[in-house]
Amino acid sequence: MRIPFISSNYRYAPLSVNGVTVRPHASPTAIASIVFIGSYLLAILYIRHCTYRDPTSVFFDYTRAYEPAYSAIRQRQADSFIDAAGTTRPFSNSTATSGKALCVGIASVARENARYFRTTVGSILEGLGEEERQKIHLILFIAHTDPTVHPAYSEAWLHNTADQVLVYDLPADELKHIKELEQEKGLFREKALFDYTYLLKACSAAETPYIAMLEDDVVAMDGWFHRTQHALDLAEKETALTSAALDFLYLRLFYTEEFLGWNSEEWPTYLFYSVLTVSISAAILLSIRHIRPTKMATAVLTNRNILIICGICIPAYILLFFAAGRATVLPLPHGLNEMNKFGCCSQGFVFPHSRAQDLIEYYTSRHVGFVDMLTEEYADERGETRWAITPPVIQHVGRKSSKGDDFGKNSKYHMSVAEKLWNFEFEKYDAESLRREHEMILRKGGD
Strands 102-108 and 210-214: parallel
335-372 tens-digit pLDDT: 999 999 888 999 999 999 999 999 999 999 998 999 99
Tally helices (H) and strands (E) across the chain.
Answer: 18, 12
pLDDT of 21 reads 55
Strands annotated E in 327-397:
335-338, 348-352, 386-390, 394-396
- The domains located in the chain, with CATH, are 30-64+262-324 (no CATH), 92-255+336-443 (3.90.550.10)
Which letter, b or e, does each residue of 351-382 get, where b requires 16 or more Cβ atoms within 10 Å of its Cβ?
bbbebbeebbebbeeeeeebbeebbbebbeee
Give the integer Cα–Cα distance in Å for 203 and 104: 7
pLDDT of 10 reads 44
Which residues of the chain have a pLDDT value below 70?
1-26, 28, 93-95, 185-187, 244-245, 295-297, 299, 401-411, 446-447
What's the whole-model pTM score? 0.86
Give the integer Cα–Cα distance in Å for 24 and 13: 9
Give the integer Cα–Cα distance in Å for 404 and 409: 14
177-206 tens-digit pLDDT: 999 998 876 567 899 999 999 999 999 999
Q: Which of 402, 73, 344, 359 is nearest to 216 (CA)?
A: 402
pLDDT of 265 reads 85
Give the integer Cα–Cα distance in Å for 260 and 335: 17
